[in-house]
Amino acid sequence: MAKKTRWAVIGAGIIGAAVAREILSRHEFADVTLFEKEDRPAAHQAGHNSGVVHAGLYYEPGSLKATLCRRGVSLLTDFAAEQEVAFDECGKVVVATDDVEVERLRAIHDRALANGVPDIALLDRDGLRGIEPNAEGVAALHSPHTAIIDYPGLTDALVADFRAHGGRVRFSTPVKNIDRRGGPTRDTAIVRTPVDAQEFDHVIVCAGLQADRLAARSGESRTPTVVPFFGQYFILDEGYSDAVNGLIYPVPDPKYPFLGVHVTRRIDGGLMIGPNAFLSFSREGYRGLGLSIPDSLAVAADPGFWRFAAANMATAARELPGVLSIERFVAEAARYVPSLAAADGHRATRGIRAQAMNRDGTLVDDFVIDRAGATLFVRNSPSPAATSALAIAEHLVGIIDGR
Q: Tell me the CA distances in angstroms from 260 to 57, 263, 319, 392, one per residue in order.
A: 16, 10, 8, 26
What does the DSSP 8-state code read for residue 127? H
AA identity, residue 133:
P
H/E segment holding residue 156: helix 151-164
Say which DSSP state 363 is in. B
Q: How far is 252 from 145, CA to CA, in rounded Å?
A: 20
DSSP 38: S
Q: Of 85, 97, 213, whose CA–CA distance to 149 is shortest?
A: 85
For residue 325, the tally of other CB atoms under 10 A from its CB is: 11
Give the pLDDT confidence of 262-305 residue by residue, as tens digits.
999 999 999 999 887 788 999 999 887 778 999 999 999 999 99
As a dihedral over the C-alpha atoms of residue 386, residue 392, residue 393, residue 396, rounded to 10 degrees, the angle is -140
Residue (of 254, 368, 231, 382) closest to 312 by Cα position: 254
Do 279 and 299 contact (CB within 8 A), yes or no?
yes
Per-residue pLDDT tens for 103-124?
Answer: 999 999 999 999 999 999 999 9
Q: Please state the pTM of the whole predicted model.
A: 0.94
Helices and strands, number each (H, E), in the chain: 11, 23
Q: pLDDT 10s digit of each residue in the chain, 403 long?
A: 567 999 999 999 999 999 999 999 999 999 999 999 999 999 999 999 999 999 999 999 999 999 999 999 999 999 999 999 999 999 999 999 999 999 999 999 999 999 999 999 999 999 999 999 999 999 999 999 999 999 999 999 999 999 999 999 999 999 999 999 876 668 999 999 999 999 999 999 999 999 999 999 999 999 999 999 988 889 999 999 999 999 999 998 887 767 778 999 999 999 999 887 788 999 999 887 778 999 999 999 999 999 988 888 776 666 666 666 778 878 889 999 999 998 999 888 889 999 999 999 999 988 999 999 999 999 999 889 999 999 999 999 999 998 5
Strand segments (E) across 345-399: 345-347, 351-357, 368-372, 375-380
Domains and CATH numbers, the chain: 1-86+147-224+364-403 (3.50.50.60), 92-144 (no CATH), 226-358 (3.30.9)
